């Protein structure tokens, strides 16, 4: 288990929980990343766009600061095609729209509110992910 990182994982989980709680407390909003990003393009009110931009910039800045102070080496997978990655990204976007939210909205915020819809969606995400990994490894051997 070369990727076993209990302390940084715990710290990340705590920070995600705090940020989701603060967003709910201050804005009354669920911290669903896909909905926040979609709102940047769909919402006309400037005050709505401002907090959404701030949230996304905070995500990027937080990850950048962490990567700067705790650099990791990422193994490049040369045998994965760019087209396959683009198709995968598009399918994730379509799935997010069909599921009415993403793993952050359903998995973190929804489950913590005991939302049956979110629990069902998260179980579906996990099952689809596990199935996809199995099928790709079985048929493509990636």
pLDDT bracket for residue 2 (50, 70, 90):
low
pLDDT digits (tens, 9 = 90+) for 25-57: 988 888 888 888 888 888 788 888 899 999 999
Residues 68 and 87 in one domain: no
> What confidence score (pLDDT) does residue 131 get?
95
pLDDT over 60 (residue 22): yes
Q: Residue 85 gets which letter from DSSP?
A: H
pLDDT digits (tens, 9 = 90+) for 48-91: 889 999 999 998 998 899 889 988 877 777 777 888 888 888 88
Q: What are the residues whose beta carbons fall under 8 Å from the beta carbon of 95, sequence distance 6 or more?
A: 125, 128
Reading the block at residue 102, the tokens are 């993403």
H or E segment and range at residue 2: none
Looking at 46, 74, 102, the residue that finishes a domain is 74
Are 54 and 103 part of one and the same domain? Answer: no
> In terms of domains, do 42 and 66 share one?
yes
Number of folded domains that form the chain = 2
**Quick one: 61 and 4 in the same domain?**
yes
The boundaries of the domain holding residue 25 are 1-74
Please check whether residues 81 and 69 belong to one and the same domain.
no
User: Which pLDDT score, from 0 to 100, does residue 120 have?
Assistant: 92
Closest C-alpha among 87, 97, 80, 82 to residue 34: 97
Q: Are residues 2 and 55 in the same domain?
A: yes
Domain identity same for 39 and 96: no
* Domain match, 119 and 99 both: yes
Is the predicted pLDDT of residue 130 greater than 60, yes or no? yes
> pTM for the whole thing?
0.71
């Amino acid at each position: 288990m070369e990727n076993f990182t209990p302390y940084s994982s715990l710290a990340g989980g705590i920070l995600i929980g705090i940020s989701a709680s603060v967003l709910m407390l201050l804005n009354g909003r669920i911290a669903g990343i896909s909905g926040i990003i979609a709102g940047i393009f769909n919402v006309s009110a400037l005050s709505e766009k401002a907090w959404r931009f701030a949230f996304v910039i905070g995500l990027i800045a937080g990850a950048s600061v962490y990567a700067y102070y705790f650099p990791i080496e990422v193994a490049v997978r040369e045998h994965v095609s760019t087209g396959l990655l683009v198709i995968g990204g598009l399918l994730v976007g379509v799935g997010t729209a069909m599921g009415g939210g993403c793993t952050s909205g359903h998995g973190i915020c929804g489950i913590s509110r005991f939302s049956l819809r979110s629990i069902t969606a998260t179980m579906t995400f996990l099952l689809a992910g596990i199935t996809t990994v199995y099928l790709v490894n079985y048929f493509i051997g990636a």
